[in-house]
């Protein structure tokens, strides 16, 4: 049986000249459980030491429904301030545009302030990727584009991406931007397979966008599946995981990475050894048969 290609050691972020690791680490859950700056630094090092140099955060990470907006960025900012030189070892991505309880605001004045606030909390001069977290349907894309192009022109943001955009919202924004979008960040996992058939990944390939997969383990459900469908997907992954001597979760990351769009899974674990283990995904080989077996388990019905 022919094997699909292994992921490359690094990928280009969209059509930019920024090289990123083919797997990322996310900090949605960083400012939880009373984590200290020293604890957070250990996680950052666990990722970097494993070759996971693409780090994803957002201004809203840390918000618990009433307070905590900006806390995950601020914690990472303290890690970066305490260790000069660390910033240059990572490709740093953040997001903005969700303003609880509004809930979304992408008016130009708000975006400018959101980006400035993120840089201040992160204690950096610029970020490598700034993403709109969720679309604000009440701002015209031309207005959004103006604010984002200004952020690039000012040197505060190197590249631009979107998250949770529809197939129509993405090209509408791209049409008005002077800068090319480099990434799109939908939810993708062996339990969330819409992207594989609804055209979003085809759009990413057509536009030259790098897809970043949020919640690549379905928010952890794949580690402890409960429903019959989730168990069937886990079993299909386990077949390959056992044959290749890796964990089911590593196998799940590698399943996403085998897609030709060059999906970058964002590891959500805040556990040092689980973050480091993620790098094993680079060595897992998939055949078409095994890959489609996972897809069919997730569909719950055979392919046509
Ligand atoms: P995930 O990888 O699907 O889930 C991670 C969760 O699974 C953690 O709570 C982790 O706990 C748990 N888990 C249990 N067993 C695990 C194992 N064996 N290996 C790894 N994790 C295990 O990812 P996620 O945290 O939901 O999301 C990942 C990233 O995607 C976020 O950090 C963020 O950067 C991004 N994201 C973006 C959006 C968006 O709207 N753009 C939305 C959600 C997330 P432990 O920490 O104890 O390991």
- DSSP string of 86-123, one letter each residue: SGGGSEEEEEE-B-TTS-B---HHHHHHHHHHHHHHHT
Q: Check residue 24 and give its pLDDT.
A: 98
Q: Check residue 146 and give its pLDDT.
A: 98
Q: Check residue 254 and give its pLDDT.
A: 98
Low-confidence ranges of the chain (pLDDT < 50): none
Q: Check residue 40 and give its pLDDT.
A: 98
N residues, the chain: 304
Which residue is closest in CA terms to ligand 1's atom 11?
Answer: 269
Distance, in Å, from the CA atom of 290 to the CA atom of 296, rounded to the nearest integer, reads 10
Domains and CATH numbers, the chain: 17-185 (3.20.20.100)
Give rounded-to-5 percent helix, strand, coil for the chain.
Answer: 45, 15, 40
Ligand 1 centroid, distance to 127 Cα (angstroms):
22
- Report the DSSP beta bridge partners of residue 159: 129
Q: Check residue 101 and give its pLDDT.
A: 84
Testing ligand 1's pocket by substitution, the residue of 42, 163, 217 carrying the most ligand atoms inside 8 A of its CB is: 217
Residue pair 90/55 in contact (Cβ under 8 Å)? The answer is yes
Phi, psi angle pair for 226, to nearest 5° = -115, -40
**Helices 169-176 & 200-207 angle (0-180, nearest 10):** 20
Which residue is closest in CA terms to ligand 1's atom 10?
Answer: 269
Distance, in Å, from the CA atom of 172 to the CA atom of 217, rounded to the nearest integer, reads 30
Q: Specify the DSSP class assigned to residue 167.
A: T
Ligand 1 centroid, distance to 304 Cα (angstroms):
32
Which residue is closest in CA terms to ligand 1's atom 6?
Answer: 220
Residue pair 112/152 in contact (Cβ under 8 Å)? The answer is no
Any residues with Cβ below 6 Å from ligand 1, and which?
Answer: 26-29, 56, 133, 163-164, 185, 214-220, 223, 249, 266-271, 274
Ligand 1 centroid, distance to 217 Cα (angstroms):
7
**Measured distance between the N- and C-terminal CA atoms of the chain, rounded to whole angstroms:** 21
Give Cβ neighbours of residue 241 (< 8 Å, ≥ 6 apart): 247, 248, 250, 251
Q: Please give, one letter per residue, the 3-state secondary structure of 18-74.
A: CEECCCEEECCCCCCCCCCHHHHHHHHHHHHHCCCCEEECCCCCCCCCCCCCCHHHH
Distance, in Å, from the CA atom of 18 to the CA atom of 1, rounded to the nearest integer, reads 35
Cis amide prior to 101 (ω within 30 degrees): yes
Q: Check residue 1 and give its pLDDT.
A: 72
Predicted structure pTM score = 0.98
Residue pair 13/91 in contact (Cβ under 8 Å)? The answer is yes
Cis amide prior to 34 (ω within 30 degrees): no
Cite the active site residues: 61
Ligand 1 centroid, distance to 61 Cα (angstroms):
12
């Amino acid at each position: 049986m022919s094997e699909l290609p292994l992921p490359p050691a690094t990928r280009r972020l969209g059509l930019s000249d920024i090289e990123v690791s083919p797997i990322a680490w996310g900090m949605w859950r960083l400012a939880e459980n009373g984590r200290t700056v020293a604890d957070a630094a250990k996680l950052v090092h666990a990722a970097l030491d494993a070759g996971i140099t693409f780090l994803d955060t957002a201004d809203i990470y840390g918000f618990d429904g009433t307070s905590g907006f900006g806390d995950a960025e601020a914690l990472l900012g303290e890690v970066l301030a305490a260790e000069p030189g660390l910033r240059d070892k990572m490709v740093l991505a953040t997001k903005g545009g969700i303003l609880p309880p509004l809930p979304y605001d992408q008016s130009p004045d708000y975006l400018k302030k959101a980006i400035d606030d993120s840089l201040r909390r992160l204690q950096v001069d610029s970020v490598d990727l700034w993403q709109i977290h969720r679309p604000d349907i009440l701002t015209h894309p031309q207005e959004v584009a103006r604010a984002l192009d200004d952020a690039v022109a000012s040197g505060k943001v190197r590249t631009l991406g979107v998250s949770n955009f529809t197939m129509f919202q993405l090209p509408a924004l791209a049409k008005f931007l002077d800068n090319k979008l480099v990434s799109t960040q939908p939810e993708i996992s062996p339990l969330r397979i819409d992207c594989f058939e609804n055209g979003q990944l085809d759009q990413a390939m057509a536009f030259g966008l790098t897809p970043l997969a949020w919640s690549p383990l379905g928010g952890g459900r794949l580690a402890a599946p409960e429903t019959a469908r989730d168990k069937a997907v886990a079993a299909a992954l386990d077949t390959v995981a056992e044959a290749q001597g890796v964990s089911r979760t590593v196998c799940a990351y590698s399943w996403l990475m085998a897609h030709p769009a060059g999906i970058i899974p964002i590891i959500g674990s805040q556990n040092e050894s689980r973050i480091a283990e993620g790098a094993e995904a680079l060595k897992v080989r998939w055949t078409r048969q095994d890959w489609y077996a996972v897809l069919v388990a997730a569909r719950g019905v055979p392919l046509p």
